[in-house]
Structure 1
Amino acid sequence: MTSARMRMRRFFHLILVCLLATPLAHATDRGALFRLTLDGHVMHLFGTLHVGLPDFYPLEDRLTGALAEASTLALEIDPDQPRADLQDALRTYGMLAPGNPAYDSLPPEQKQRLDRLLQQGGLDASSMLSFKPVLLATMLALAEYTRQGYRSDLSSDAWLARQARRHRVRVLALESLGGQLALLDRLPTPDRWRFLEEMMDTIESGAQRTEAREVVRAWSTADRHALDRMAARCETDRSVSGRFVTQVLLKERNVGLAERLLQLLRDEDRTVAAIGVLHLLGTGSVPALLERSGVTIERIY
């Protein structure tokens, strides 16, 4: 082979390597990732999705590399918490008092709708109807994700916790399940039933299914603009459920989450935190609150 042909072959080989390598360098970007710095300490803050698919993993190397070198992984709650703790939290905050006939008191048409949606979601009515209305609505929404094949055991929170323990990284819970469930009990009684009715409406209309697809697609492709649009849409939702989610489940919790993350960032040099992606977006987000406290924020994707 002549030297000219050899140089040409090496040239085309180099072009091929560049074309293949460059677009795929971070082909598995998911959700949103921020780099936080304060007084020389670094934290990577990742936006999770609480359901998943096998194809979502492994997550990309900037996140997994940071986790392998971290002292601590901070999550909303530890997905591996003891089952007894889960049951205690449900009994204390999530369940109706024994013998409460709340759902039997619904108008017949509403009760039939609820029974139909429980069956459609593959949920056991005898256990689900012991839950308070807002928790029941949450279970119906999760069932819609499950019907589309998305699995809670494949959430990015659970995957990161497994990776952390594999690398002997401490897993820190920022909240408790009891604290989260207690928030669901904050609505006045009429609004609790309105919350459940709104959820049934969105499922029956197909809106919940469409929204689930949009959320998963935006998260699984790290579509920054789509995620930001979803956060903006949350803030303009004037329904009972929409206002409650935005004001209580997101913005109010963001304050406590930001305080705990700020303390962790001050105390430890290299850490990773992973919380629901909507906590990282929009006004009153965790990164915005941390920035006000002097933390330098870089959005990586």
Structure 2
Amino acid sequence: MLARLNRLARRTAAALALASALASGLAAPAAAAPALWAIRDADSTIYLFGTVHVLRPDTAWRTPGIEAALAESDELVIEVLGADDPAAARPLILKYGVSTDGPLSSKLSPQDQARLEAAAAAAGLPPQALEPLRPWLAAMSLSIAPVIKAGYRVGSGVETVLTAEARAKGRPVEGLETLEQQIGFFAGLPPETELAMLKSTLEEVDEGPAKLDALVKAWADADLDLLEREFVTEMREKHPEVYEALAARRNRDWADQLKAKLAGSGVSFVAVGAGHLVGPDSVQAELAKRGVTVERR
């Protein structure tokens, strides 16, 4: 049981790094230029950078503008500390990810159960390992495997790289939310929405790497329209409850936190998933509602 829990913790930690995209390779081009924004007042600057949480090791994304903003910054702010830490995820899996209302197979049709068994086999998991899990955790455990097989790594993700660099330089690293909060967003979904999330994953799990390839290219090219369509529009239309829980509500909270930070002084580099920085409910849109101007760099 402990060995199985450790494996699930590792998978969950990796999948959480994919959560903002709800994704399930093309490396970014050498001339990549992901979008960067700035918020300023008399004594504060906040750089706002959209990221991809998992990348291939050879993906190019750093630009002179990004490097200058990082060099100027006093601190790094990311979505959550410890999102890639299995030890931190393990007790939260027990608390939020284990079913209390019967095995997973009892909630699935024969067709969906067959899909689950096929996806589990492809991920190297025996189907019985998923039986105790709530649908949201089963979905995340299955969605990460094809992406990892395609060469993507959490360790190459933007936040992981920037966090290591900031700590090496002795700069503080803060999180906008806790790991328990982030897992709680999934665990708090209505049961029918949680099950729909798993079914959608089973239908689209094989498309994960290709979809992420397209998203990484759009991100590297700063194609904000495509990012909005892929990150926001699809989720907003197909799964509005998931969109509200994983995107819109969090964007409102982060906008409040950034406005409060602007009232202080100093320079902060804020790196969050690119999907939070596009669309009608983006962090920038929420900041505008609070009277804060965000400028594209």
Query: What range is the shorter-chain TM-score in?
Result: 0.7 to 0.9
Q: Which residue of 2 is the match for residue 23 of structure 1?
A: none
* SS of aligned partner of 1:271: strand
Q: Out of 179, 182, 191, which is 1:180 matched to?
A: 182
Distance verdict in 2 for CA 1:270–1:93, change over 3 Å: same
* SS of aligned partner of 2:133: coil
Give the TM-score, by structure 2 length: 0.80
Q: Which residue of 1 is the match for residue 290 of structure 2?
A: 293
**Rg larger in structure:** 1
* SS of aligned partner of 2:215: helix
Give the alignment of 1:1-301 within 5 angstroms.
28-57=31-60, 59-79=62-82, 83-97=86-100, 100-104=102-106, 106-123=108-125, 125-203=127-205, 206-231=206-231, 233-234=233-234, 237-238=237-238, 242-300=239-297
* SS of aligned partner of 1:174: strand
Q: Is the 8 A contact 1:74 1:173 kept in 2?
A: yes
5+ long unaligned stretches in structure 1: 1-25
Distance verdict in 2 for CA 1:126–1:257, change over 3 Å: farther
Q: Could you tell me which amino acid in structure 2 is paired with residue 220 of structure 1?
A: A
Q: Is the 8 A contact 1:174 1:257 kept in 2?
A: yes
Q: Is the 8 A contact 1:71 1:268 kept in 2?
A: no
Give the TM-score, by structure 1 length: 0.79
Q: Is the 8 A contact 2:33 2:61 kept in 1?
A: no
Q: Which residue of 2 is the match for residue 15 of structure 1?
A: none
Q: Provide the C-alpha distance between the structure 2 equivalents of 1:146 and 1:223, rounded to a whole number of angstroms.
A: 24
5+ long unaligned stretches in structure 2: 1-28
* SS of aligned partner of 2:53: coil
The CA RMSD over aligned residues, in Å, is: 2.5
Q: Could you tell me which amino acid in structure 2 is paired with residue 42 of structure 1?
A: T
Residue 251 of structure 1, CA deviation: 0.3
Residue 250 of structure 1, CA deviation: 0.3
Q: Provide the C-alpha distance between the structure 2 equivalents of 1:55 and 1:150, rounded to a whole number of angstroms.
A: 10
Q: Is the 8 A contact 1:164 1:171 kept in 2?
A: yes
Q: Is the 8 A contact 1:71 1:271 kept in 2?
A: yes
Per-residue CA deviation, residues 86-117 of structure 1 (Å, 9 max, x unaligned), is 212222222224x9423255344332220110
Distance verdict in 2 for CA 1:53–1:44, change over 3 Å: same
